[in-house]
Amino acid sequence: MRAPVPANTPRWVWVALGGLGLALAAAQVWWLAANDRPPMWDSALHLTHALRFLDFFRHGDGGLTALLGLSPFYPPLFYLLLAPLLALRAGPDTATLIHLPFLAALLGSVFYLGRRATGRAEAGLLAAALTAAWPHVVWLSRDLLIDLETVALTALIVALAAATEGFSRRRLTVGLGIVFGLALLTKWTVLFYTAGPLALLAVQAWRRAPDATTRRAAADNVAWATVAAAAVAWPWYLHRAGFLAAQFLPVTQGLGPVEGDPVVWSLAGWSYYLRALCGWHLFGPLFLVFLAAAAAALVRLARRRVDAPAAWSLALALVWVAVPYIVFTLLANKAPRHISPVLPAVSLLIVSFVFGLERAWLRRTLTGACAGIAAAQFLLLTFGCPLIPPRLQVAPASADAFTERFLRDAPAGVPAASVRRWPDAWFLYQQDAFEIWTPPRRENWRLAEIVQHIGKHPAPGRASLGLVPDAPRFNVWSFRATAALMKQELAIWRISSFDPAGAAFRPYRWILLADGNQGPVWNTADNARLVAFVRQHPERFVLRRQWPLPGGATAWLFEHLQAEVPDDPGWPPFWPSKY
C-alpha cells in the first residue's frame, strides 16, 4: 500500500526544490557566459524565425494572415515568446534564457506527479532532481531548441490532467485545455507525447466515477477543454494545414533513409530509442535503475501487488514512455531528442521503484545513489572532465549515428575528403554529443566579420551569399541569424549541387568556401568539386578575404564577377519547398 498523500509538504522540501531551481538558473547563466560559440543548425534556424517575428512587430507589416505565415513549419508560440526577449537584447544567449521559466514548470510538474504517485514529498523532490539532471535535458536547456519547452509542457499537461481528479474540476480542466492549445502552438508532436497519459486518465475517470451524472459532468468538462484548446490553436493550424500535410511524410519518413537512420522494421530500428535512453538520455548506471524500475512496475501490475491509486500511477508512467517509443520508432526519421518528453515518466518510474522498497536502509541507499549519480552527470556535462575519455562505449555499434565530411585544402586541385563517423552504439556515458553539445567553449567562427565585410564592400546589384559548407556552426542558418542580428540585408542560401558549367553559382555575388568540417555526408557529396571549381576559374571568382576558423580550418570569401542575382524578393526561399 502506498502512503497517503501528505496534507502538507515539509518546509525543507520546498527549500530544497527552490534551491534546485536557483542552482539550475545559476548554472545556465554561467554556462552561457562561458560559451561564445554561435548556435548550431536548428538553433540558428529558430533564432532566425524569432527575429522575423520581432521585425514584424517593430514594423507592423501585414495583418493576422502575414503573422500566421511567418513560421511555415513550426508553430509560432516559441517565437512569439522569444520576440520580447530579443527586443531587450538581441542575441542567442539572451534567447536561450527563455528556457528558465519552462524549467521551473518542468520541476514543479514532476515534483507534483512524484509526490502524488508515492505519497511522499521527498520522492517528488528526487523525481524533479533526476529530470533536471538527465543529460538530454541539460543539453537541450543550453541550446535554442523547442524540445525543452515540449518536455516541460508535456509534463505540465499530464500534471494538470491528474490534478483535475477525473476531469471533475471544471476550471482546472478548462485550464488544461488552454495549456494543451498552447502546447500545440509550440510543437505539434505534443499529441504523440500526451495521447497515452490523457487516454489512460480518461479511462480511469470513467471507471472510478460513482454514477452516470458524474460521468456526464466530466465529459462536459472535457468538451469545454477541447473547445478551449481548439480556440487557442486552430488559427495557425487552419492557415498552415495544407503545407503541414504536404510536409508530413517527407519530413517524418523521407529524411530518415537519406540521413542513414536504421530501417523501421529491423532490430536496430526498434532498439534505437533504447540505445538513445542509455547513451544519450540517462547514461548507463541510471539506465539500469530505470530498467529495474520498469520491470518491477510491470510485475507489480501483473501480480496486482499494489493498491488501485498506485497501480494507476505506475500505468500512467509506463504508458507515457511506451506510446511515444512506439510512435517514433515507426517513423523513419529518428533522433534521440524525439523522445525527450518521456524523461519525466522515467523519473517517476524510478522514484516509484525506490520509494516502494520495504527496507528503509536499502531505500535510503538507493535514493542517495540516484541523487549522487545524477549530480555527477550534471557536473560532468557542465564542466567536463579531461581525466576520463570523452565517451565510453560498452557494446558494439549497430551502425553510424551521424557521419560528417571533412575537406583538407589543396589549392592546386580537388581537396582531399575524409569522413568522421559517430557510432550508434551503447554508451556508458558521453561528455558531448557529436561535439555539438559540449561543456562551454570559446570559439570564433567569424560570422559577424564575414557579414560585415560583405556590407562594407557592396557589389553591383543585390547582395547575395552562397555557402558551400554546411557545418554545425558555419551554415546558412547561422549566417542568416547573424545578418538578421546585424540588421543587414543579405540573401543567403546553400550551393550543394555541382554541374560542369557552374550554374549553381550564378545567383550569388559572394561565394564562401571553407575546409575542415563540411557537415553531414548526405548533403555535402559535391563540396570538394564545388571548391575545386571556384579555385580553377579565377576569371569568374576573385578571392577577397580569408579567415582562420576553429580546428585549424580556413574560410575563403570570393567575389563572383559573373553573378546574376535574381530581383525576385521571394528568392532565396526562407524554407525549403521539399526535402
Q: What is the DSSP string of 384-452?
A: --TTS-SEEEEEEEEEEEEEEEEEE--TTSPPEEEEEEEEEEEEEEESSBTTTB-S-------HHHHHH
Cis previous bond, 6, omega within 30: no
The residue written with cell numbers 583538407 in the block is: 408
- The closest alpha carbon to 131, from 340, 352, 394, 429, belongs to 340
Q: Where are the alpha helices (DSSP H) in 466-526?
A: 476-485
- What's phi and psi for 554, nearest 5 deg? -135, 140
What does the pLDDT look like over 26-69, one tens digit per residue? 999 999 999 999 999 999 999 999 999 999 988 876 788 888 88
The residue written with cell numbers 529530470 in the block is: 131
- What's phi and psi for 154, nearest 5 deg? -60, -45
- What's phi and psi for 81, nearest 5 deg? -75, -30
The residue ranges of DSSP E strands in 122-277, in sequence order, are none
- State the pLDDT at residue 577: 45
Taking the C-alpha atoms of residue 535 and residue 543, their distance in angstroms, rounded to an integer, is: 9
Q: Which residues, in sequence order, are CB contacts of 102 under 8 Å at separation 6+?
A: 148, 149, 152, 153
Pairing of the two strands 464-467 and 491-494: parallel
What does the pLDDT look like over 525-550, one tens digit per residue? 999 999 999 999 999 999 999 999 99
Q: How many residues does the chain have?
A: 579
- The closest alpha carbon to 347, from 368, 329, 323, 321, belongs to 321
Q: Which residues, in sequence order, are CB contacts of 214 under 8 Å at separation 6+?
A: 166, 168
What does the pLDDT look like over 217-256, one tens digit per residue? 999 999 999 999 999 999 999 988 888 888 777 777 777 7
Taking the C-alpha atoms of residue 202 and residue 219, their distance in angstroms, rounded to an integer, is: 9
- What's phi and psi for 252, nearest 5 deg? -80, -30
Instruction: Cell numbers for 192, please give them.
Output: 504523440
Taking the C-alpha atoms of residue 416 and residue 412, their distance in angstroms, rounded to an integer, is: 11
Q: What is the DSSP string of 253-280?
A: IIHHHHHTPPPSSSHHHHTHHHHHIIII
- State the pLDDT at residue 578: 44
Task: Give the H/E segment covering residue 163.
Answer: helix 147-163
What does the pLDDT look like over 163-181, one tens digit per residue? 999 999 999 999 999 999 9
**Cβ neighbours, 10 Å, residue 533:** 23
**What global pTM score does this model have?**
0.93
- The closest alpha carbon to 547, from 456, 474, 462, belongs to 474
Please count the CA atoms within 13 angstroms of the CA of 192 that sit on its side-chain side: 21
> Which one-letter DSSP state was computed for residue 569?
T
- State the pLDDT at residue 2: 43
Taking the C-alpha atoms of residue 19 and residue 79, their distance in angstroms, rounded to an integer, is: 29
Write down the mean pLDDT value for the chain.
91
> If DSSP codes are grouped into helix, strand and coil, which group holds residue 141?
helix
> If DSSP codes are grouped into helix, strand and coil, which group holds residue 516?
strand
* Single-letter code of the amino acid located at 45: L
CB 560 within 8 A of CB 511: yes
What does the pLDDT look like over 255-286, one tens digit per residue? 777 778 888 899 989 999 999 999 999 999 99
The residue written with cell numbers 575563403 in the block is: 556
Task: Give the pLDDT mean for 457-469.
Answer: 88
- The closest alpha carbon to 343, from 377, 366, 393, 392, belongs to 377
> If DSSP codes are grouped into helix, strand and coil, which group holds residue 168?
coil
What does the pLDDT look like over 298-314, one tens digit per residue? 999 998 877 878 888 99
